[in-house]
Structure 1
Amino acid sequence: MLHPARLLVLIALGLLVWGAEGSAQAPASAPTDLDAFMARALQRRDEDRKTLGDYVLDEVETLEILGPGGAPINRFKREYTWYVRDGMHVRSPLKYDGVPIPEADRRAYEERWIRSETSRRKHRTEREAARAKEGKSPDFTLRPINEPRFVSESYFLDFKFEPGNYYLAGRETLDAKEVLRIDYLPTHLFDDDHDDEYRVDEKGDRSTQHEGRDAKQQDRERQAEHEIDRKMNKTAQVTLWVDPANHQIVKYTFTNVWMDFLPAAWLVRVDDLRASMEMGQPFEGVWLPKNVNIRGSFTLANGSFEAGYRRDFSRYRKADVSSRVTVPKQESR
Structure 2
Amino acid sequence: MLLGGVGLSAQTDLDAFMRQVLARRDENWKKLQQYVLDERELIDIRGPGRTPIWGERREYTWYIRDGFFVRSPVKFNGVAIAESERRKFEADYLKRQQARERRQPRDRASAQPPSSSATESDGSAPGEQISTERAGGPAPSAGIELDGLLKQTRQPEFISSAYFLRFKFEEGKYALVGHETLDGRDVLCIEYYPAKLFGGTNRRRSREGATDRDRAYDAQFQRLMNKVALVTLWVEPNAHQIVKYRFTNLPFDFLPGQWLVHVDTLEATMTMGQPFPEVWLPNGLDFAVALTLAIGQVDLRYAIEYYDYRRADVRTKITVR
TM-score (ref. length: structure 2): 0.80
Q: Which residue of 2 aligns with 1:196?
A: 202
1:301 aligned residue: 294
Partner of 2:319: none
- Whole-Å Cα distance in 2 between the matches of residues 249 and 189 of structure 1? 18
Query: 2:224 is aligned with what amino acid?
Result: K
2:308 to 292, 315, 319: 315
Higher strand proportion (structure 1 or 2): 2
Tell me the residue number matched to 1:185.
Answer: 193
Q: 2:277 maps to what in 1?
A: 284
1:142-185 CA distances to partner (integer Å, 9 max, x unpaired)? Answer: 58633222011111122110010100000111111111100000
Q: Which residue of structure 2 lines up, in the alignment, with residue 101 of structure 1?
A: 81
> Which protein is richer in helix relative to its size?
1
Q: How far 1:110 moved relative to its partner?
A: 1.1
Secondary structure of the structure 1 residue equivalent to 2:255: coil
**Could you tell me which residue of structure 2 aligns to residue 141 of structure 1?**
126
Structure 2 unaligned blocks of 5 or more = 1-7, 117-123, 130-152, 315-321
- Give how far 1:238 is off: 0.3
Contact 2:70 2:90 in 1 (8 A): yes
User: Which one of the candidate residues 160, 171, 185 is aligned to 1:163?
Assistant: 171
* 3-state SS of 1:255 partner: strand
Q: Distance in 1 between matches of 2:190 and 2:159?
A: 24
Identify the residue that residue 45 of structure 2 maps to in structure 1: 65
The Cα of 1:250 is off from its aligned counterpart by 0.9
Tell me which of 210, 225, 228 is aligned to 1:232. 225
Measured after TM superposition, the shift of residue 267 of structure 1 is: 1.1
Deviation at 1:121, TM superposition (A): 1.7
Whole-angstrom CA distance in 2 between matches of 1:129 and 1:188: 25
Q: Is the 8 A contact 1:84 1:320 kept in 2?
A: no
Question: Helix, strand or coil for the counterpart of 2:25?
Answer: helix
Aligned partners of 1:143, 1:274: CA distance in 2, in Å? 32
Aligned-pair identity in percent equals 48
Take 2:128 and 2:257, find their aligned partners in 1: how far apart are those partners? Answer: 34
Report the equivalent of 2:144: none
Displacement of 1:84 in angstroms is 0.9
Q: Which runs of 5+ in 1 are unaligned?
A: 1-27, 204-209, 322-333
Assess, with a 3 A threshold, how the Cα gap between structure 1 residues 182 and 237 changes in structure 2: closer, same or farther: same
Structure 2 distance, partners of 1:229, 1:284, is 40
- Pick the aligned partner of 1:121 from 94, 101, 104: 101
1-side partners of 2:69 and 2:88: how far apart? 16
- Is the CA contact 1:241–1:252 (under 8 Å) kept in the aligned structure 2? yes
Deviations 1:194-225 (A, max 9, x none): x235644xx4xxxxxx6xxxx67x65444333
Classify the secondary structure of the residue corresponding to 1:56. strand
Describe the shift of the 1:131–1:97 C-alpha distance in structure 2 as closer, same or farther (beyond 3 A). Answer: closer
The residue aligned with 1:80 is: 60
1: CA distance between counterparts of 2:196 and 2:212?
21
Amino acid at match of 1:141: P
